[in-house]
């Protein structure tokens, strides 16, 4: 009888535990709690998103087109996106509603997804020990009233919160603030800043700005971007920029003091005169060029008899910047390429707030202009005796007149130029992020600046030391075994203690 009682108790316990697990899993589909241990809090909604959702005046509908029966790494995107939508729904008190559909299930749904702009992607799937390609959908339509935004593809590892909040923000913005891209002094045209324009135009009205001696800068312009001027800028134009700052305007200057020509293998001082204007604000844009052991590569054609060989060589004049101040502009940035940059210093009024933004590595140096490039030069560690030279900074205060204003100075302008039509090249995402973050900080309008870089963009293993790589490899291999072994020893010990206890009870 005692045995039957114990058996019934055991069965009841198993049934209860199973029921609790099933109910918990069902509830967790829509209501869940998680602790975010990710480095940049990818799974924690920022204050900007919370504020955005709290102030929604119209419902937002998200229709997510996601294929099912896909590999785990792709299925995780669907799971993460759904969990984020659950949080958006909760935070907005039901103002964000969503549904998930599988375009692969029905032909009419697939046709609908394609017509809406959701692009299928081809993924590799292993089936019966063979690799084959399968079409999958990973996109969404975000709607508010009769307006809508399309997310064609949500890539694994993408900044989900930024992607979603940006689309909602774009739908909810009634009047976009204007950003002027200065023209007329050899600056690149807006078409040559294709990636910057695409990113900025989501939340800003981006327009070319040509200064006119007979007319002031239009009131609608709140922020001006000056990108790599190569021709001389008239003093009257600098006076207009001062008047713009005096009324509280903000300016981003992305320019070095270098005019580099790789074809002629020479770098000379720029003639634009932007350095003299910055000097009146206390900013020194030095007449030098940065070299850094942490650098990008260039292709060099070398002749070997009758043959020509293309070789990749490290080129220290194109630094890869990896050290950033803990500011909203630098937050999340990992690698920005600044070709032919100049250093920045400050000797202005202590009443203004000067903040270094980006630094070279611990193995860097400067060379005074003019500089003749020697592609065959063999670089040594002794060539880089300096460390953490400032190549970007911000300045806040009364920069012209009595109104407080802001400046962002980046000691290079080439880093965001894609090139002319037909010759454009795709730039590093962090190059674009740094520029657009700067515009956001100056304009102080979107609140989404901290979200743009909320994903890991550059973590190359080949930059880790041999010892670190070996440690990580063995840790990945041994840690699961050690944990299982530790659990086995603990379980065996617990069973042994229980057995001894039972024997003592029987003995008594």
Percent above pLDDT 90 for the chain? 52
Instruction: Pick the more confident residue, 487 or 254.
Output: 254
What is residue 38's predicted lDDT score, i.e. its pLDDT? 52
Q: Is the pLDDT of residue 37 over 70?
A: no
Helices (H) and strands (E) in the chain, counts: 10, 24
Cis peptide before 370 (omega within 30 of 0): yes
List, in order, residues 6 or more apart from 103 with CB less than 8 Å away: 65, 67, 109, 110, 112, 113, 118, 120, 137
Q: Is the pLDDT of residue 34 over 60?
A: no
**Lowest-confidence range among 22-31, 72-81, 466-475?**
22-31
Q: What is the dihedral of CA 37, 41, 44, 50, to 10 degrees?
A: 160
d(CA 112, CA 255): 47
Most confident of the following: 87-96, 114-123, 158-167? 87-96
d(CA 89, CA 269): 55
d(CA 313, CA 322): 20
Dihedral sign for Cα 267, 271, 276, 278, please: negative
Beta strands 283-285 and 266-269 are: unpaired
Q: Is the pLDDT of residue 490 over 90?
A: no
What is residue 300's predicted lDDT score, i.e. its pLDDT? 77
| CA separation, residue 426 to residues 198, 270, 423, 429, 430 (Å) | 13, 26, 10, 9, 12
Q: Is the pLDDT of residue 286 over 90?
A: yes
Cα 333 vs. chain centroid, distance in angstroms?
6
Percent above pLDDT 70 for the chain? 85
Per the structure block, which two tokens stand in for 242? 């001062």
Dihedral sign for Cα 421, 425, 428, 434, please: negative
Residue 18 CB neighbour total at 10 angstroms: 10
Helix (H, G, I), strand (E, B) or coil at 470: helix
Per the structure block, which two tokens stand in for 18? 């199973």
Q: How many residues does the chain have?
A: 508
Q: What are the extents of the domains in the chain?
A: 32-171, 183-459, 466-508
Per the structure block, which two tokens stand in for 227? 């990108």
* pLDDT tens digit sequence for 52-66: 888 888 999 999 999
Beta strands 96-101 and 205-210 are: unpaired
* pLDDT tens digit sequence for 367-395: 999 999 998 899 999 999 999 999 999 99
What residue has token string 């962002």?
408
Instruction: Pick the more confident residue, 238 or 332.
Output: 238
What residue has token string 């924690």?
44
* pLDDT tens digit sequence for 395-445: 999 999 899 999 999 999 999 999 988 888 999 999 999 999 999 999 865
d(CA 438, CA 190): 17
Average pLDDT, the chain: 86
Q: Is the pLDDT of residue 117 over 60?
A: yes
Residue 79 CB neighbour total at 10 angstroms: 11
Q: Is the pLDDT of residue 121 over 60?
A: yes
Dihedral sign for Cα 432, 437, 442, 443, please: positive
Helix (H, G, I), strand (E, B) or coil at 30: coil
Are the C-beta atoms of residues 91 and 50 closer than 8 Å to each other?
yes
DSSP states along 346-410: E-S-TTSEEEEEEE--SSEEEEESSEE--TTPPP-GGG--B---EEEEEEEE-SSSSS-EEEEEE
Domain 32-171 is found in CATH 3.40.30.10: yes
Are the C-beta atoms of residues 459 and 335 closer than 8 Å to each other?
no
User: Domain 183-459 adopts which CATH fold?
Assistant: Rossmann fold (3.40.50)
For the segment 170-190, the average pLDDT, to the nearest whole number, is 91
- pLDDT category of residue 156 using cuts at 50, 70 and 90: confident
Q: What is the largest CA-CA distance in the chain?
A: 108
| CA separation, residue 462 to residues 295, 345, 458, 467 (Å) | 14, 33, 11, 12
Q: Is the pLDDT of residue 456 over 50?
A: no
Helix (H, G, I), strand (E, B) or coil at 182: strand
What residue has token string 């976009």?
176
Q: Is the pLDDT of residue 241 over 80?
A: yes
């Amino acid at each position: 009888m005692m045995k039957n009682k114990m058996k019934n108790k055991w069965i009841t316990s198993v049934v209860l535990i199973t029921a609790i697990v099933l109910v918990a899993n069902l509830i967790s589909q829509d209501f869940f709690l998680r602790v975010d241990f990710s480095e940049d809090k990818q799974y924690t909604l920022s204050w900007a998103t919370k504020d955005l959702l709290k102030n929604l005046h119209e419902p937002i509908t998200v229709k997510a087109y996601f294929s099912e029966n896909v590999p785990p790494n792709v299925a995780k995107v669907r799971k993460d996106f759904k969990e984020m939508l659950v949080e958006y729904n909760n935070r907005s008190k039901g103002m964000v509603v969503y549904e998930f559909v599988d375009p692969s299930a029905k032909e009419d749904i697939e046709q609908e997804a394609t017509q809406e702009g959701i692009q299928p992607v081809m993924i590799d799937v292993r089936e019966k020990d063979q690799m084959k390609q399968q079409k999958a959908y990973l996109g969404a339509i975000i709607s508010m009233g009769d307006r809508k935004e399309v997310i064609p593809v949500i890539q694994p590892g993408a900044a989900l919160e930024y992607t979603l909040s940006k689309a909602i923000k774009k739908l909810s913005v009634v009047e976009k603030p204007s950003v002027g891209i200065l023209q007329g002094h050899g600056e690149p045209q807006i078409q040559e800043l294709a990636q910057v324009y695409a990113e900025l135009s989501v939340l800003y009205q981006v327009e070319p700005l040509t200064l006119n001696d007979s007319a002031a800068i239009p009131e609608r312009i709140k922020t001006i971007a000056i990108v790599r001027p190569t021709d001389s800028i008239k003093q009257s134009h600098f006076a207009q920029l001062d008047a713009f700052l005096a009324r509280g305007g903000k300016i981003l200057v992305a320019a070095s003091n270098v005019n580099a020509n790789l074809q002629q293998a020479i770098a000379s001082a720029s003639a634009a005169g932007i350095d003299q204007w910055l000097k009146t604000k206390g900013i020194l844009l030095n007449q030098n060029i940065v070299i850094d052991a942490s650098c990008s590569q260039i292709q060099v054609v070398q002749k070997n008899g009758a043959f020509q060989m293309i070789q990749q060589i490290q080129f220290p004049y194109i630094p890869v910047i990896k050290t950033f101040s803990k500011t909203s502009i630098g937050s999340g940035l990992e690698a920005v390429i600044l070709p032919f940059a100049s250093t920045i210093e400050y000797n202005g009024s202590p009443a203004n707030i000067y903040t270094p933004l980006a630094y070279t590595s611990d193995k860097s140096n400067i060379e005074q202009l003019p500089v003749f490039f020697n592609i065959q030069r063999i670089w040594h560690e002794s060539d880089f005796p300096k460390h953490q030279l400032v190549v970007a900074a911000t300045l806040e205060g009364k920069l012209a007149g009595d109104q407080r204003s802001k400046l962002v100075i980046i000691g290079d302008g080439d880093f965001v130029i894609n090139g002319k039509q037909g010759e454009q090249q795709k730039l590093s995402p962090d190059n674009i992020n740094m520029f657009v973050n700067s515009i956001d900080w100056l304009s102080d309008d979107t609140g989404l600046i901290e979200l743009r870089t909320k994903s890991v963009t550059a973590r190359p293993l080949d930059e880790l030391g041999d010892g670190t790589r070996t440690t990580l490899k063995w840790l990945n291999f041994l840690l699961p075994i050690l944990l299982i072994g530790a659990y086995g020893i603990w379980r065996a010990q617990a069973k042994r203690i229980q057995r001894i206890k039972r024997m003592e009870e029987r003995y008594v």
